[in-house]
Amino acid sequence: MYLSYTDLRAIMMKKSNLLIFGRRYIILSLLLFAAIESRSQNVLPPAPYGAVPNDNQIAWQKMEYYMFIHFGPNTFTDKEWGDGSEDPKVFNPTNLDTRQWARIAKGAGMKAIIITAKHHDGFCLWPSEFSTHTVRESPWKDGKGDILKELSEACKEYGLKFGVYLSPWDRNHPDYGTSKYNQVFANTLQEVLSNYGEVFEQWFDGANGEGPNGKIQNYDWPLFHRVVYNNQPNAVIFSDIGPGARWIGNESGIAGETNWSTLNTEGFGLGKLAPNPKVLNTGNENGQNWIPGEADVSIRPGWFYSPKTDNKVKSLNQLLDIYYSSVGRNANLLLNVPVDRRGLIHPNDSTRLMEFRKIIDATFKSNLAKDKKVLVSNTRGNAKEYSAQNLIDENFDTYWTVDDGINNATLTLDLGKRTEINRLVLQEYIPLGQRIKSFSVDYWNGNEFVALDKQTTVGYKRILTFSTITTTKIRINIVANAAPILSEIQVYKAPEIIESPVVSVN
């Protein structure tokens, strides 16, 4: 016999009826009642909103910060863009050590290294069978060296991911600008992506100039992408318009204060066909594709090493500004650290990287919001799995959200006592989409809430920096395009930075 929830409850509430069932049936009924009661409280999660990331993009976003290395003949000719006519014999590092690169990247808190395996000059840092302009033709290791092999092994040893940059523009290859070249480049990609282990990111740019025959190539991007995914199905492809990650629109490492991870790409391409840099910098609200931003910048004025820039390494404050304007604005940071003519990272660069790591670690060492109380205007279905306490458990995979149809919400972090803070971190649960359109922050001054800041997007991570305040409560007011979903709220007290004065004489 089938009993409804209402019938079962009525039977169980009447003592006279209970006698009919017998002891075993009573126990069974109680268990069934408990199961029905529990099921009635199970609240479904929000449906995904708009474009959402795939698992590889989520893992990529969590990396946040990694190293770019520009290295090649330009390192020895003091050029930024070689023309492909360089004699391979100029490439002859005297003490190349990829383990030093990996050790420094690891010590700097970076998660990966991306190497310029082939720049526009066409020179390959591995002995490619599809080119005669490679390390094989150089005096380094008597032509028997392979930088990609050494670096991929060093990354594996130090627990770093490995990525490659290959420029489709080739100012040396005789087939460039002909019908043959697209397959030549596809073969080159195949060679790299099948011989050096897992590649987490394939880095492309849209550079498309003349080759040695004065012709320009019409790139077959669908072919190139197929080669990448056939060999490295988990790789994120970077370019002006992705499809895995996009250029942030500048080479200063600065993402837009508004930064959507979604982008409209229909009708656009790479290079001159890309969207306006201002659009790339901010993304498109409700864009059709999930293509988050990657901010690239060099620690020196140029991308390749030059002895003239040994004393022009970016200052600690410059690096911090870049960090808060990239990682702190929903973008990943790709920081270029050029290798010198010995084949080593220069001590000026490595010293600055360690200083940078030290201050970042000190800033985010103690989350002052952990295990505190959070009051919210609404909790989805009043269910524990979506409660406000998920905001302060330092677990990205738990989150707070509200009932469907509620796009505006308020949460108040109660610190319990007067606390000095100057950093606020917010994280959306991006597997269900980017939803928050704007938010404002107030703090309690002892008598009332006072405005602290007002911003637009959040995304995977948003970090607000402000002068130190002392407060017991922080209130955040959210306006979203759909029910907001926040994974984390964190507050910190960053140490003061005092740099040595720079003295100049005219």
Q: Based on the domain organization, do 219 and 167 belong to the same domain?
A: yes
Per-residue pLDDT at 497: 79
29 and 132 share a domain?
no
Give 54-70 pLDDT, tens digit per residue. Answer: 999 999 999 999 999 99
Evaluate whether residue 498 is within a structural domain. Answer: no
Least Cα distance to 122 among 162, 88, 164 occurs for 88
Q: Which two tokens stand for residue 391?
A: 């905001």
Return the CATH number at 316. 3.20.20.80
Q: Which of 334, 363, 392 is the last residue of a domain?
A: 363
**In the predicted model, is pLDDT for residue 112 greater than 60?**
yes
Q: Which residues contact 384 (CB under 8 A, 6 or more apart)?
A: none
139: preceding bond cis by omega (within 30 degrees): no
The count of other CB atoms within 10 Å of the CB of residue 465 is 16
Evaluate whether residue 49 is within a structural domain.
Answer: no
Using the 3D structure, point to which of 363, 389, 418 is the last residue of a domain: 363
| Residue 31 sits in the same domain as residue 145 | no
The answer to whether position 416 is within a domain reads yes
Compute the distance between CA of residue 413 and CA of residue 486 in angstroms, rounded to an integer: 13
Residue 22 DSSP label: H
> Alpha carbon 41 to chain centroid distance?
36
* DSSP codes of every residue in 172-189: S-TTTTSTTHHHHHHHHH
DSSP code per residue over 94-140: SS--HHHHHHHHHHTT--EEEEEEE-TT--BSS--TT-SSBGGGSSG
Q: Does the pTM exceed 0.85?
A: yes
Same domain, 17 and 87: no
Residues 17/29, Cβ–Cβ less than 8 Å = no
Pull the structure tokens for residue 349.
């660069």
pLDDT band, very low/low/confident/very high, at 502 (cuts 50, 70, 90): low
> How far apart, in Å, are the Cα atoms of 41 and each of 10, 35, 81, 398?
20, 10, 63, 18
159 torsion bin: left (phi>0), alpha (psi -120 to 50), beta (else) = left
Distance between CA atoms of residues 350 and 55, nearest Å: 33
* Total domains, the chain: 3
Please state, as a whole number, how many other Cβ atoms lie within 10 Å of the Cβ of residue 273: 12
Domain check: are 392 and 315 in the same one? no
pLDDT digits (tens, 9 = 90+) for 75-86: 999 999 999 999
- Dihedrals phi, psi of 388, to nearest 5 degrees: -65, -25
Instruction: State percent of the chain over pLDDT 90.
Output: 89
227: in domain: yes
What is the CATH classification number for the domain harbouring 450?
2.60.120.260
Q: Which of 328, 363, 398 is the last residue of a domain?
A: 363
3-state SS, one letter per residue, for 250-298: CCCCCCCCCCCCEECCCCCCCHHHCCCHHHHHHCCCCCCEECCEEEEEE
Q: Which domain holds residue 28?
A: 5-40
* Rounded Cα–Cα distance for residues 179 and 348 (Å): 46
pLDDT number for residue 103: 98
Residue 16 pLDDT exceeds 60: no
Looking at residue 303, its pLDDT comes to 98
Which spans in 398-452 are helix H? none
135 and 270, same structural domain?
Answer: yes
- Note whether 304 and 166 are same-domain residues: yes
Tens of pLDDT, residue by residue over 20-43, are 344 544 444 444 444 434 443 589
Q: In this model, does residue 17 exceed pLDDT 80? A: no
pLDDT in tens, 407-459: 999 999 999 999 999 999 999 999 999 999 999 999 999 999 999 999 999 99
Is residue 255 scored above 70 in pLDDT?
yes
132 and 235 housed in the same domain = yes
Q: Are residues 255 and 392 in the same domain?
A: no
Give the model's pLDDT for residue 26: 45
Residue 279: pLDDT band (50, 70, 90) is very high
Domain for residue 392, yes or no? yes
| Nearest-10 crossing angle of helices 181-193, 221-231 | 20
* DSSP state letters, 330-393: TEEEEEE--B-TTSSB-HHHHHHHHHHHHHHHHHTS--TTTT-EEEES--GGG-GGG-GGGGGS
In-domain check, residue 50: no
Of residues 332, 279, 290, 487, the one with CA closest to residue 399:
487
Distance CA 294, CA 339 (A): 22
Q: Decide if 48 is inside a domain.
A: no
Across all residues in the chain, what is the average pLDDT?
A: 92
350 shares a domain with 210: yes
What span, in angstroms and rounded, lies between the C-alpha atoms of 230 and 224?
A: 10
* Predicted confidence (pLDDT) per residue in 449-475, tens digit: 999 999 999 999 999 999 999 999 999
- The verdict on residue 497 lying in a domain is no
Quick one: 415 and 305 in the same domain? no
Q: Are residues 410 and 277 in the same domain?
A: no
Strands 262-263 and 201-203: unpaired
Q: Which residues of 115-139 are buried (b: 16+ CB within 10 A; e: fewer)?
A: bbbbbbbbbbbbbbebbebbbbbbe
